[in-house]
Structure 1
């Protein structure tokens, strides 16, 4: 039983702003792809802290990097630079299309930087009329007022007063509408190279290539939101590498820190020069403590062994989910790439994805949702096969529980 001195779930309702409705359990310990709650009940983690825990819980190399840096220096602010930030920026530049890096604390902050930079670039080069941003319905780019407005889900942005303007939302993968929308007043197009919160929707090959080509034609910057898809999640270091399409600006967060809050905006020299001292900033961005951990994450993830292992694990997950579906007939398809997968519910189960999540917790497995109709899986990139098999066995129990309800 829960220790009487431990905080309980009831305390959340008493002291926390009600922006979340967390499960009744409170995890207190994790190791690899397993988590234990206050009652020492074990769970297989297929959620990864929403695609954050790229190397599982308490990976020894990350714990070592954290402890080593904790005994050196924690924080400096950007009045001066620090060694871990410089090393991390160099790793990211050497591994991607980018020439320059800006560090922030969260995906929303990285995307805010992307959007501000795109607007400033267009203003400096083409004047104030070139300010339009194209984004996609059911997209998600963060919770700042700018990013939540660019995200294509009004339920997250309505009710807060006048929204930032000159933003147009169109359907994902709708090439004809995109062609009709982009023009010479478009300053940027922001897109997820695999739509996450909107239902794990992959881009059509022709669509994403045409988006790139039309951005170039209209002198619009292409921004890839790789907050969820980046750092090995799709089996490439970044998803753009598997699409054959290179953005002008890219945001990365989540898996970059392996559980430590960090984000980055990556871009080219030509674009980066339109941010000068004072135009943007972050007190904590590039913090030496978090950068030390992120350096180790990049070092471990950006290897053939881990990246090819993601693709192998995708197949293990797909095979297991398909076997569950052959027996219970609840999914229309399993889609996504790498270890960002979505099981789309059949019409008779639509609107019930959270029921599967909660039943999963009862059965000892943590999963996610991607909207009301899709169950999302984003486990550790190095989850052992035996944990996949055990987690899927528990998930099948959860499926049966929902079906019997």
Structure 2
């Protein structure tokens, strides 16, 4: 009896005439050699050889432990691909992504227009350095100026770099403003629960002691005040002493705490009286996350400098510092710079992200979904003894617990939902892609609710 052979390649016909496969002869079917090609309308992903008894995820995690510096306490998931608001691990398990790469993937994963912009620019030129002019960098800067308080833009590669630039610009501004003074104002005011980055200057303005203490001494001259304390801020911000005040309108890493309009207005007034600059760090809360293009717009208070990063290039590394003309006039060629920042390979897709998010109907949808998310959480979690507060604005929401949040985060992950912690580890942080649907939000809240009993399990003593 002849064997049945199938050869699979990329040129197929989905129709196979079985009359050519089996021939009736003397009342019996005889199998003939068949050569069929199948054209599968699915995306294929490279496979990795895995040792017997070891999953692909385990092998990759073991390699990470061997070759990478151990700076991250990673969740035991190896992500392979994403689409929309879903992520898939190397074993094919599906997760609803309520982290969006820590508030980065605002358009979700693999948005077609965003992907096309990357491909088109990659086919042209990706990097030139800032020795030369490029059109995408100018286009992105122009659009940022048009839709904000700012008059000029400086590009960096991350949020911490944006804050480092803002620190330098603030001190240079004060030196420019006081050219005849040997020691112009050089100190900074920042707040409890703040997070401005992990490089040495930004770290000095970050309140968590455990972030700073291993690297002391960090940059001197930072004073920490209670977030929201108007009286303390008014007393400490002084002429001849304070160069700038750094504040997040909504604190992300610190636990999803929102400022009040009165607090931000008091900082604006105190800075004006003292000749200090007001710097809004909108690295996490800016660019549509709150339902406003910029978080400070909901307060009607405007800064001298604003730092951006996370969602601006949809997952590619970028940071931006927006400044008024008054601040920009103090900065001269050579005062600051970056080899990679503002490259055309980043700026073209970033412009796609900005153009989509800044549309009024897009921002209105974020606001609507944010209210829906909080309503669902309040309904589902009402009466739970561990839930102290649900807070936030738009699609940056925190659930404060009276116990550590990590068991809940782990349980959600096992059930196909990815969420983050914040604050002192007792806040569940929800920062999904801004394109998430209400159906997906309901699915997320249902899983959270179903996993809440894990918080009742006492830790073994």
Map of 1:5-404 to 2, 5 A cutoff? 5=50, 6=56, 8-126=60-178, 127=181, 128-184=183-239, 185-326=241-382, 328-345=384-401, 347=402, 349=403, 352-371=404-423, 372-404=425-457
- Higher RCO (CA < 8 A, seq sep 6+): 1
Q: Alignment partner of 1:211: what SS?
A: helix
CA shift digits 1:344-379 (9 cap, x unpaired): 11x3x2xx1122222211111011111212110000
Q: Is the CA contact (8 Å cut-off) linking 1:209 and 1:245 kept in structure 2?
A: yes
Q: Is the CA contact (8 Å cut-off) linking 1:74 and 1:289 kept in structure 2?
A: yes
* Alpha-carbon distance in structure 2 between the residues aligned to 1:212 and 1:66: 39
Aligned length: 400
TM-score normalised according to structure 2 size: 0.85
Structure 1 stretches lacking a partner, 5+ long: none
Q: Alignment partner of 1:257: what SS?
A: coil
Q: How far did residue 157 of structure 1 move?
A: 1.2
CA shift digits 1:16-43 (9 cap, x unpaired): 1111110111111100101110111111
RMSD of Structure 2 on Structure 1 (CA)? 1.4
* Alpha-carbon distance in structure 1 between the residues aligned to 2:316 and 2:253: 21
Q: How far did residue 198 of structure 1 move?
A: 1.0
Query: Counting helix residues as a fraction of each chain, which structure ranks higher?
Result: 1
Q: How far did residue 330 of structure 1 move?
A: 2.7
TM-score normalised according to structure 1 size: 0.96
Q: How far did residue 380 of structure 1 move?
A: 0.8
* Alpha-carbon distance in structure 1 between the residues aligned to 2:77 and 2:66: 16
* Alpha-carbon distance in structure 2 between the residues aligned to 1:93 and 1:319: 35
Q: Is the CA contact (8 Å cut-off) linking 1:33 and 1:57 kept in structure 2?
A: yes
Q: How far did residue 328 of structure 1 move?
A: 3.3
* Alpha-carbon distance in structure 2 between the residues aligned to 1:124 and 1:359: 54
Range moving further from structure 2, 353-362 or 296-305 = 353-362
Q: Is the CA contact (8 Å cut-off) linking 2:248 and 2:280 kept in structure 1?
A: yes
Q: How far did residue 161 of structure 1 move?
A: 3.4
Q: How far did residue 3 of structure 1 move?
A: 4.9
* Alpha-carbon distance in structure 2 between the residues aligned to 1:362 and 1:401: 12
Task: Name which one, 1 or 2, has greater alpha-carbon Rg.
Answer: 2
CA shift digits 1:199-224 (9 cap, x unpaired): 11111221111111110111100000
Q: Alignment partner of 2:96: what SS?
A: strand
Q: How far did residue 404 of structure 1 move?
A: 4.4
* Alpha-carbon distance in structure 2 between the residues aligned to 1:164 and 1:327: 45
